[in-house]
Amino acid sequence: MNAGRKLAALAPLLLPLAACGGGPVPYSTTLGLLRPHETITVHIGSGTVNAYAPIAGDRADRFTVEAFATTASSAPPAPKIRSVRGGIDVDAPAVRSLLVRVPQGVNLVVFSRGGDVNVTDISGDANVTLANGNADLMLPAYGEASNTGRGSLKVIIGSSDWPGTLSFSNMRGDIDLSINENAKFRVHMHTGDGTIFTDFPLRGHSKGASETIDGLVNGGGPRRVDVEVKKGAIRLLSLAPQY
């Protein structure tokens, strides 16, 4: 690893879990630098992941990974963070919650075995896979999400352009997807047991408990969106540009 991407483990020891202002403080903090188009990959157990852009005034290329526990005495081992080709891997199987500051232009990938994932205003792409739990993604760019168990997916796509196909799937739970109203794309939506609602001018068909919509948004284009739910509702909403 070169000096520009050196990791700095700033708090490897357990710390008190209440700051002077009464809020929680991390028991482990790691800082480092990443370049645009590199990727932070997070593996977590049942804990919550909260991912944000860097704090205002901080370096745009600096990442932060902070781990939180319920009490100092119950703090699990600190996340293992290692440099890999094209970014870093974060392994945090037992933390209660993880806060990740994602640098400008850096992508985020999360694999969660049972906790919620919240991603807000990162400038790179996001790809979230859950075994159970809820995902809430507010993305100026774009991303994908899937859940192989139970939980809801709520995703906001600020960009009107993305490469290829964006896929969203859920086994048992709703998908709420908002996409830039100016985007031109082909869409396929299907629920095996539930309903589909959209405020884009699309028509579909139903058969028993299932519903399907295939159509073109704003005339279609090279982009595509696939939404699949086994049991649950789908909502596809138009989003007035905010970014």
Query: Residue 93 domain-assigned?
Result: yes
Residue 18: the pLDDT is 40
Residue 159: the pLDDT is 96
Number of domains in the chain: 2
Residue 70: the pLDDT is 77
Do 191 and 226 sit in the same domain of this protein? yes
Query: Residue 29 domain-assigned?
Result: yes
Which residues of the chain have a pLDDT value below 50?
Answer: 1-6, 8-22
Stated pTM of the model: 0.90
Residue 16: the pLDDT is 40
The residue ranges of DSSP E strands in 45-139, in sequence order, are 48-52, 62-68, 80-84, 87-92, 97-101, 107-112, 117-120, 126-130, 135-139
Specify whether the CB–CB gap between 18 and 67 falls below 8 A.
no
Do 74 and 167 sit in the same domain of this protein? no
Query: Residue 46 domain-assigned?
Result: no
Do 170 and 208 sit in the same domain of this protein? yes
Do 69 and 28 sit in the same domain of this protein? yes
What pLDDT, in 10s, does the model give residues 44-73?
A: 999 999 999 999 999 999 999 999 987 766
Do 131 and 229 sit in the same domain of this protein? yes
Do 242 and 135 sit in the same domain of this protein? yes
Do 161 and 59 sit in the same domain of this protein? no
Distance, first Cα to last Cα, the chain: 34
Q: Which residues pair with 228 in a beta bridge?
A: 169, 190
Do 63 and 150 sit in the same domain of this protein? no
Residue 238: the pLDDT is 96
Do 134 and 243 sit in the same domain of this protein? yes
Q: Which domain holds residue 191?
A: 125-243
Share of the chain above pLDDT 90, in %: 84
